[in-house]
Structure 1
Amino acid sequence: MTDVVFHGLTKRFGTVPAVRNLTCTMTPGVTGFLGPNGAGKTTTLRMLLGLVRPTAGTATVGGRRYADLPQPRRVVGALLDATGFHPGRTARQHLLISADQSGLPAGRIAAALDQVGLAKDADRRVRGYSLGMRQRLGLATALLGDPEVLVLDEPGNGLDPAGLAWLRGLLRDLGADGRTVIVSSHVLAEVQQIADRVVILGEGTLRHDGPLAEIPGLEAEFLRLTGGVA
């Protein structure tokens, strides 16, 4: 079981603060990582994954920075953007390349495709995929290393109602399996059905960190904490 820990995490772009002194711990289970546009969620996740350098503070996985993990894709799987696939490649080819680049066994590809429901479409070119199918391929890429931690930014984008129901089941199962699943989303109704814990940011600062069960109404509390209109 692996914790994700932010300690004093701060990021400024020039004079503009994006994240301010964020300190919290995300434990095994599903954490809803919430906040309005511009709250600093994506910047925080990109700092966790070593894609953005913090101005101050640390973001660690199991006590190590992402860059210091010996085999990072076996520890952390991430889906931040499901639009970066080569349109002329098939899903299977994409995963083969990803596995080769990350030092992961090609034997995991079939399991990842099956896990996200793409086994029957694995040899179709991505240019013919819907947005929902691309989201599934992004999830398969994140799951390729059978990671202990999953970092997912709006994983439900493009999924139809059946796809959303499937995703809820997948994320709940992964959390119940002892993995640390971080889900950033604007769809509060979906988060309410899967999350064990909720972290809410507003203007780059921590506004709430605790079990979902302690919040009587997620939408009303979210609006109150982030300055929205309840």
Structure 2
Amino acid sequence: MSKAFRGHQAVDRVSFTVEPGTVTGFLGPNGAGKTTTLRCLLGLVRPDGGEGLVNGRSYASLPNPLAEVGAVLEATNLHPGRTGRNHLRVMCDAAGLPVSRAEEVLAEVGIAEAGNKRVGGYSMGMRQRLSLAGALLGDPGVLILDEPANGLDPEGIEWLRRFLRHQAHEKGVAVLVSSHVLAEVEQTVDDVVIIARGRLVHQGTLTEVTGDGESLHDAFLRLTSAGTDPHTVGDPK
């Protein structure tokens, strides 16, 4: 998949697969093309070449997108005057889901007691959890999350780790998570996809990228500074 903006190649022939039952970390320096890739995958930006597929279909062609893919790209697109519970109920109505799902996902993300509080009074971490709740409403088989740890305190980050691994390993969900918190990514993911300057530089298991005792942080720095040829970046020389 490729996408350029005003002559700048933001994404250059990036191709990878996220398997069911795994947490895949989507990593890259600032400006590497991660968010553009996710937005193309979710039909928010039209790629210039190639396409992003969810369960073998483009997002636009999914008959019931919320039931197949849940996504969180930012936690700021929430109406401050609505309660968390009403926010989710509106989403249920729009998607033809029973409003009881709002109660279930509020409990699943651990903010049931804040359901009647206006979103404008939520902390950043609570907004993140509410956005995650919205992504879960349709009980999708795919989750796409951009920086879900933003605003979470250490306890919240530990909760997120357990949550993501439960979704993948217990429910069989394919989880794609973009994050800059490499130490936490290393404790959470099964696979990694790394891009730099809009191009894929590594795809494989976490064990493969951190072989010989190398930390994910060190491997990330090596790979993202080694060039953009995916056939040569595995060589640290």
Which TM class, normalised by the smaller chain length?
over 0.9
Match of residue 194 from structure 1: 188
Instruction: Output the CA distance in 2 between the equivalents of 1:20 and 1:102.
Output: 34
- Distance of 2:209 and 2:102 partners within structure 1: 39
% identical equivalent positions: 57
User: 1:166 is matched with which residue?
Assistant: 159
CA distance in 2, matches of 1:187, 1:62: 28
Q: CA RMSD in A?
A: 1.2
Alignment pair present for 1:31 and 2:29: no
- The structural deviation recorded for 1:99 is 1.3
Give, in whole Å, the separation in 2 of the partners of 1:16 and 1:27.
Answer: 30
**Local SS of the residue matching 1:193:** helix
- For residue 215 of structure 1, report the CA deviation from its aligned partner: 2.0
Give the structure with the higher percent strand: 1
Deviations 1:182-218 (A, max 9, x none): 0000000111111000000000000000000112221
Unaligned runs of 5+ in 1: 1-8
Instruction: Find the counterpart in structure 1 of residue 217 from structure 2.
Output: 219
What TM-score, normalized by structure 1, do the two folds share? 0.94
Rounded to whole Å, the distance in 2 between the matches of 1:111 and 1:193 is: 27
Aligned length: 221
* Equivalence for 1:182: 176
Q: Secondary structure at the match of 1:132?
A: helix
Name the structure 1 match of 2:120. Answer: 127
Task: Please report the TM-score for the alignment, with normalisation by the length of structure 2.
Answer: 0.91
Alignment of 1:54-73 (within 5 A): 54-73=47-66
